Chain A
Amino acid sequence: GQNIDQPTEMTATEGAIVQINCTYQTSGFNGLFWYQQHAGEAPTFLSYNVLDGLEEKGRFSSFLSRSKGYSYLLLKELQMKDSASYLCAVSKTGKSTFGDGTTLTVKP
């Protein structure tokens, strides 16, 4: 099976940097996705990591360590619109399993 752990909630200040962690245990592994989901809306794709290391995409970066079963999503220069739930999803052949998500609240 796949156990995926994320913090339930986080709070940060506008303009700051926040790191959302995701740890997982899985019997097989292809890659790890991060999705953003605003309240009442559908999840939207943020990033996909297959290899170890950091992938940067604008204000968002995602890191993966396959040996440690660990990933994080780094959000820089936080904006109010970044208040949302952030879901990590662990993929093995054919299917993904989503974590419960981390609700991020950005305060002025």
Chain B
Amino acid sequence: RKEVEQDPGPFNVPEGATVAFNCTYSNSASQSFFWYRQDCRKEPKLLMSVYSSGNEDGRFTAQLNRASQYISLLIRDSKLSDSATYLCVVKNTGFQKLVFGTGTRLLVSP
């Protein structure tokens, strides 16, 4: 079983739609959680951190459920520029390394 699992998609949505991505992780010792964004043929960049209390950044909302070991990302009012791959990432204790999911591809169409 992969340590971080995501639906690879693609998710095809029209502009203005709301879309949600989910992710599960298997290591209960994971301590920090993130969503990274990766544009086609580009490097990953941090989109936002994820907290148990939930956090929002503009049109983006991230949630963490530690009991279910589940992370989510909600994008409201999708823009064409949101088209990218969204990587779910957990940071484990010990070596403090990041473990990436396979990513979920989002395609926003006019």
Do these two chains really belong together in a complex?
A: no
